[in-house]
Structure 1
Amino acid sequence: MKRYFLLPVAALALAALACSSININVPRLKTGPTTTLTINEPLPEGNEVVDVTISMGAGKLNLAGGAEGLAAGEIKYNVEEWKPTVTNKDGHLTIEQGSAKDNFGIPEDGDKVVNEWDLKLGDVPMYLVLNAGAYDGMVDLSGLRLRHLEINDGASNAEVLFDSVNPEEMDKLAYKTGASTVKLTGLANANFAEMDFTGGAGSYTLDFSGELQRDATVNVKAGASTVRIVVPEGVAAKVTVTGGLNSVDADSGWEKSGDTYEISGDGPALTFDVEMGVGTLELVSK
């Protein structure tokens, strides 16, 4: 008897859910006049290496070298709660957008939102961390003295460029992204020992052009995405694919043996460990 009684009860519950509506109150942020915050941070005294952290939400970012001090530039915004804070103390520089932690909300008029960051960093050895949300970014790290680099972003459209050799030996380059379109160019110039790239469902290009200074290990983990790995001609590389991926498109120069792809070359070598279950992996040599 009990089991038959449960069926109409369940049906009534489902009907009640179907007829009801769920209201979610999301805080709203009002836009106002565009405000410009000028950044002009001096180099710290007595610090051989500095820690720089830049954290922003949705918006536009242009980041490059060329600052006379530690950091310079402008941030334009028109949501008061997003007013950035700048802290420069004891060799630690933090530039952080308001609401990144405390002031959650959605702008009332999204098409009029202004959040534009135009920043330059100076000529000093640094550990750089970049955190961003759904943003459009041009990050030109050419010539910066980076000992460590970490980038975390959301659904972004970003390009990261190393157009000249990093004067410092970088211990690790870590990039974590979501459903994004990301292009990293000149990665050989980054001068890292190890690189970790983690992506969701997106399109990612990892271009190792430049001058490879030493042997390097690259770990790639991605979801249902397209990953394009570009290795310059003459550079030795070995790619091991795990995770069950069966869609690998390799140039004629790559030799396949099981789940391993190799290409011969001279000098320092690149070793890749790629973990993908679905999606497409493209291996290019040019």
Structure 2
Amino acid sequence: MYKSLSCVAFFSLFLSACHIGDFEGQTTSLHKSVPVAGEELLEVDVDVPIGKLEIEAGTSTDLYEFDLDYNERAFTPEVNFQKRGSTGMLTFRLSGEGKHVRRMGKNRLNLRLNPDVPVVLRIKNGVGESQIDLGGMRIRELSLENGVGETSISMLTPNKISCDRVDIQNGVGALKMIGLGNLACKQLRFQGGVGGSELDFSGDWREEGDIQIEVGVGGVELRVPRSVGAEVTASKSFMSGVDLPEFEKKGDTYVSYNVDRVSKVLRLRISAGIGGVELKWL
């Protein structure tokens, strides 16, 4: 996998800029759950600037439930839920500069979402680790702004509905996405930054995905199952590389060896900057 050698340096500079000091403060815990009340859609906005974020499927009786541990001297949780018609709207933000926090792990949010209500999920994370398990949920839309640290997103079981759009922006951190085929996504847009990324397209492809990938400094590894074909349109700079094994160039398009043998074909538009793109068959 292509990796950015600058990631560690950027991470160190970022932490220095944040002026993270030695004062730990007091850790406070908060638990909250809201039962289902006829919602047909749940829109969720989550913003965790520092700390660990976990998102997973919850129970069928609760619309959402969360457990939060946070440094009360440096951060304040802002939680707002309202309902408009049959749509529930949850906004969660952990506000505060965090300039006196020595250990990022003091903040930890575990959020569980209803598995039966379709979800529009928007995530913004900063410094820390994020583990997002979408298995068992009904994902209508997904967006992520990944900051510094490691983020893992998995969808190991098929989405119960079609996903209209996935929009991913990776910053300095490392990003790994597994089971993208299970999302049944119609459109996927990925913007890479300094950090390296791995996009695993395994899963049950029910849609012929339209995929746009913009690569920055960090490299991107694409893992594609042989059960689907791929047509790739690629543009690159003289400093970048696009490695597409078992593809044949036809005009301006690279076509995989198996397009005439499979029922689903992924259409990828790749724009590579300094970072390279490597495709591996599964």
Same fold per TM (> 0.5)? yes
Is 1:125 equivalent to 2:125 in the alignment?
no
The 3 A distance-change label for structure 1 pair 112 and 237 is closer
The 3 A distance-change label for structure 1 pair 83 and 212 is same
Higher relative contact order (CA 8 A, sep 6+): 2
CA contact (8 A) 1:29 1:106 kept: no
Residue 165 (structure 1) shift: 0.8
Task: Measure the CA separation in 1 of the matches of 2:160 and 2:265.
Answer: 19
CA contact (8 A) 1:78 1:113 kept: no
Q: Secondary structure at the match of 2:109?
A: strand
The 3 A distance-change label for structure 1 pair 135 and 260 is farther
Is 1:98 equivalent to 2:92 in the alignment?
no
Structure 1 unaligned segments of length 5 or more: list them.
1-23
**TM-score normalized with structure 1 length:** 0.83
Q: Secondary structure at the match of 1:215?
A: coil
> What residue in structure 1 maps to residue 269 of structure 2?
273
Task: Measure the CA separation in 2 of the matches of 1:199 and 1:181.
Answer: 10
> What residue in structure 1 maps to residue 217 of structure 2?
224
Q: Secondary structure at the match of 1:189?
A: helix
Deviations 1:148-199 (A, max 9, x none): 1111121231110000111111110001120121111100001110001111
Task: Measure the CA separation in 2 of the matches of 1:29 and 1:79.
Answer: 15
The 3 A distance-change label for structure 1 pair 89 and 227 is same
The 3 A distance-change label for structure 1 pair 257 and 79 is farther
Specify the structure having the higher radius of gyration (Cα): 1
Residue 230 (structure 1) shift: 1.0
> What residue in structure 1 maps to residue 243 of structure 2?
249
CA contact (8 A) 1:29 1:105 kept: no
Q: Superposed, which structure 2 residues align to 1:147-166 within 5 Å?
A: 147-166=140-159
Task: Measure the CA separation in 2 of the matches of 1:172 and 1:48.
Answer: 18
CA contact (8 A) 2:217 2:273 kept: yes
CA contact (8 A) 1:34 1:78 kept: yes
Is 1:285 equivalent to 2:242 in the alignment?
no
CA RMSD of aligned residues (A): 2.3
Q: Secondary structure at the match of 1:179?
A: coil
CA contact (8 A) 1:29 1:81 kept: no
> What residue in structure 2 maps to residue 177 of structure 1?
170
Structure 2 unaligned segments of length 5 or more: list them.
1-16
The 3 A distance-change label for structure 1 pair 259 and 200 is farther
Which 4+ stretches in 1 moved above 6 angstroms?
24-29
Residue 81 (structure 1) shift: 3.8
Is 1:213 equivalent to 2:206 in the alignment?
yes
Task: Measure the CA separation in 1 of the matches of 2:186 and 2:228.
Answer: 16
Report the AA paired with residue 228 of structure 1: E
Is 1:53 equivalent to 2:45 in the alignment?
yes
Task: Measure the CA separation in 2 of the matches of 1:229 and 1:134.
Answer: 25
Task: Measure the CA separation in 2 of the matches of 1:139 and 1:201.
Answer: 21
> What residue in structure 1 maps to residue 254 of structure 2?
261
Residue 244 (structure 1) shift: 2.4
**TM-score normalized with structure 2 length:** 0.84
Residue 135 (structure 1) shift: 2.0
Match of 1:146 among 115, 135, 139: 139
Q: Secondary structure at the match of 1:144?
A: coil
Q: Secondary structure at the match of 1:202?
A: coil
Give the number of equivalent residue pairs.
256
Match of 1:195 among 188, 202, 210: 188
